[in-house]
Amino acid sequence: MNMRSVRYIDRIMENVRQVKEEDIVDLYNDIHEADCIILVGEGRSQGALLIGMGQINKTVRLIEDVDFPGRNIIDAAPRLERMHRCIVVLVNSGSGETTIPKIVVKELSEYIEKTKSEKFKIHAVVSDPMSSVGRICEKPFGNVLVLKGRNLKETNDFASHGIMNDVYELGSMLIFQKIKEHIINQAPPEGIKEDILREGDVVRDIVHEFINSPMYENIISNLERRSHITIGGLGPARHVATMTAIRLQHVKRAIGDDAYPAGPFAPKPRAGDLLMLISWSGETLPLLEWCKIHKNVGAFVYSIVGNYSTLSEHSESFILNAPASVFYERAAFALSPLPIHLVERLKERGFELPDYIMRWFHSETE
């Protein structure tokens, strides 16, 4: 087997190097000052937010949560002001034009200007500072961090830039992760950028080890067959699973199959289907039950775990030795090349999937 590689991780780190130091410090300061953070994004960009900001020692809310104190941001704003001292609406949108981020930023901006509220700040991470979301930096209550993404004119060399906008989403996840770690550890913002670049070296080694493992070869071989794949995890691992499923479905759907996050929309397993499980402990009981059910019908079960565990014993497993605080971010990176190498395998078989085909299957809500 030829050694596999993914060049887009180098691209991610180059984009991070170009982020202005003062923009990282501003984002750190806004999050550090807040006692409530409202995360706003769609699709994989939301997944990057949830993974990166997960387990922070602050109140974190999503507008779609059942306990969000209102039907929308305008309805909730007066209640949030009574409940919290400082609220940061943290938006992640590469294009700056995705529907929910654009609406939330517009409506909250109008509310702040109308009420003269001093409790809200809006901080956006975007690729285009002139986009609808990016222009929030023109307001006194708005800040923007600019992170380059993929140039949409690039060719189908997916190994260099990932599927769709991987370079942006994974890069933003790294930025959120390291800012969160500095806040949790009560460390100053100076040095965050260096920590991000060091983490880039770590994830590059993890990805290289994983994609050149016999387990990974088996996954790609089974993915190219007529099969569905379900990806599961609980807690923070659920966000990694969802982000991975969204990315894989661009390819699987284009060849007549599908990828699902585990849950009510995933179909009953059949012989030959795939199950991928993500668990730091490897002892989460629902995941062990999913593993048993899928194996009983003849499905293939794989896992990424943080420890030698019951799950690693009962599935084909990759042990990602990392503390829980960074396991989920690193697992997201490890799984990110799957659609790229599936496209390459299909191309070897004479079935080429140009980018515009996957773009057609890409959800308009991401």
Query: Would you give the end-to-end CA distance of the chain in angstroms?
Result: 36
Bridge pairing between strands 36-40 and 142-146: unpaired
Give the CA distances from residue 137 to residues 73, 260, 267, 287, 354, in Å, rounded to whole numbers and listed in that order. Answer: 19, 37, 44, 43, 36
Distance CA 325, CA 345 (A): 34
Asked if 224 and 248 count as a contact pair (C-beta separation under 8 A), the reply is no
**Once rounded to an integer, what is the mean pLDDT over residues 263-287?**
96
The least confident of 167-176, 226-235, 341-350 is: 341-350
- pLDDT (0 to 100) of residue 365: 39
Sheet with 229-232: list strands edge to edge: 259-261, 229-232, 274-279, 300-305, 316-319
Distance CA 176, CA 51 (A): 8
pLDDT category of residue 354 using cuts at 50, 70 and 90: low
- Higher-confidence residue: 354 or 144? 144
**Once rounded to an integer, what is the mean pLDDT over residues 257-267?**
93
**Once rounded to an integer, what is the mean pLDDT over residues 103-112?**
98
Distance CA 211, CA 6 (A): 9
- pLDDT (0 to 100) of residue 8: 86
**Once rounded to an integer, what is the mean pLDDT over residues 319-343?**
95
pTM of the predicted protein model:
0.91
Given a cut of 70, is residue 211 above it in pLDDT?
yes
Asked if 109 and 122 count as a contact pair (C-beta separation under 8 A), the reply is yes
Digit-coded pLDDT (tens) for 129-138? 999 999 999 9
Domain residue ranges in the chain: 8-200, 213-361
By three-state DSSP, how is residue 356 classified?
A: helix
The residues facing 318 across adjacent strands are 304
pLDDT category of residue 355 using cuts at 50, 70 and 90: low
Q: Tokens for 173, please give them.
A: 């996840």
pLDDT category of residue 364 using cuts at 50, 70 and 90: very low
Q: What is the mean pLDDT of the chain?
A: 91
Q: What type of residue is 184?
A: I
CATH number given to 213-361: 3.40.50.10490
Residue 238 CB-density burial (10 A; 0-12 exposed, 13-18 middle, 19+ buried): buried
Whose structure tokens read 């800040």? 143
Given a cut of 90, is residue 164 above it in pLDDT?
no
Distance CA 250, CA 29 (A): 37
The residues facing 88 across adjacent strands are 37, 121
Distance CA 323, CA 177 (A): 13
Given a cut of 80, is residue 158 above it in pLDDT?
no
DSSP assigned state of 321: -
Q: Tokens for 22, please give them.
A: 């003062």
Given a cut of 70, is residue 2 above it in pLDDT?
no
Digit-coded pLDDT (tens) for 223-246? 999 999 999 999 999 999 999 999
Architecture of the domain whose range is 8-200: 3-Layer(aba) Sandwich (3.40)
Instruction: Decide if 8-200 and 213-361 have a common fold.
Output: yes
- Cβ neighbours of residue 348 closer than 8 Å, sequence gap 6 or more: none
- pLDDT (0 to 100) of residue 157: 52
